[in-house]
A and B are shown apart, each in its own frame.
Chain A
Amino acid sequence: MAKRIDVSGLTAYYGSHKAIEDISMTVEPRSVTAFIGPSGCGKSTFLRTLNRMHEVTPGGRVEGKVLLDDEDLYGTGVDPVSVRREVGMVFQRPNPFPTMSIFDNVAAGLRLNGNYRKSELSDIVEKSLRGANLWNEVKDRLNKPGSGLSGGQQQRLCIARAIAVEPKVLLMDEPCSALDPISTLAIEDLIGELKERFTIVIVTHNMQQAARVSDRTAFFNLAAVGQPGRLIEIDDTERIFSNPSVQATEDYISGRFG
């Protein structure tokens, strides 16, 4: 079941440096929300606060609230590990576990979460690989190492690994920036299918990609280098790309800066 994300007054730090300041937004379930903005504006940092990965960085800390439906991810007593089991993540560079086979890569999260019978496990692995549009390419070599696949296949393997544990939300941090155009297209098609089941948030540097895949688009910017990044506006993607309400958004989208 996809869940709604409700962020209010979120500020994130690296040590004493304030990376993003006072961000509030709502992400609807079963939709794709794209984060765009110039480099260093904190969109990746913000994404990483949504599954508490930001705290993994030494000195990383967060103020504010992130509600997943009604549960505060930063509430007292909330275990970051259990947050990450609900909020999956796909990274910029494909990172399948190099020492595991394709099958084991997809099963990795399941094996963490509990005991599955062998038949159950292979059913879920097949379903996840089909869900990631990778099944037909790898079904004959499930026992081969995942690192032997092409970059695009590896990224879809990582998506299969993330969706195998049925997260409520799927975060994607520039998932196509290391891929060629054909593989990028495959991932974008996949995002369109996955949004039927998951809430998806995607960071992208590619504005055409944001326009193609997302329902809502959030534009981030920073006043100057060293200043914290802020959310400038979030709106329906169509509106952001045709008639944004803030001048800075229009400047960025039309290529006048950034």
Chain B
Amino acid sequence: MLRLTRGTRIAFGIVVAIVLLFMYVPLFLVIINSFNIAPIASWPITGFTLDWWVRAFQNEALWTAVTNSAIVAAGAMVIALVLGTLAAFALQRYDFFGKHTVNLLIVLPIALPGVVTGVAFSNSFNNVLEPAGIQVGYFGMIIAHATFCIVMVFNNVFARLRRMNPSMQEASMDLGASLWQTFRLVTFPQFRTAFVAGGLLAFALSFDEIVVTIFTAPAGVETLPLWMFNQMARPNEATQVNVIATVLILLSFIPVYVSQRLTRAEEEER
């Protein structure tokens, strides 16, 4: 353990406090302002009301946006889980021509600016597929999201597979298990936590994606981030955004909690 003098420790404490303030004060303001009587965010709030909460929960456009986001994120997550896992197995277990290139191509979309992905998909959908008579619509948005969600699953599963003892699979088959039994009983349980963590990340990534969504959402379809973004332009409605932001802040504790629990369970197993 590094020994620090009293002065250094106090200095570090102050730096940490400032960083945390910068991170969490704005979030706190959002939560407080969701109960603000005034339609415009302020500090201190002018009075307490639950009116915005009621209006938000009765807002049909908002619920449609939530549903859209959930469907898109779930769709992107499922695609990412299947393709990401398969890719991780292929690249971890087998040697083939162009392996490193494939690895690069799978990881690249996460580094690519969202606006580039958005323009690229928008062009392909509107200028290539549509003239050819193919309407991707809603599904196009899911596919666009899946391109960068795959990386989340791939990275997690790939790292886990690399640490896995290959004689485990051999032992399973040696004891009479078929390939499928081996996967179900031995292989999958060992990368299950990485699979779930990758899935959660993929879902979260898609759920709050706005840049790619702007370019690929079909006309008239709003995901939650898109709805919030559009709301901000209408001053009288802006406070409802605070309400939904507060809900999202609370919801985001769930994946953080789950992933920490998973990691801890794993460490105990080692």
Q: Do A and B come from one complex?
A: no
Which B residues contact A (CB, under 8 angstroms)?
A: none
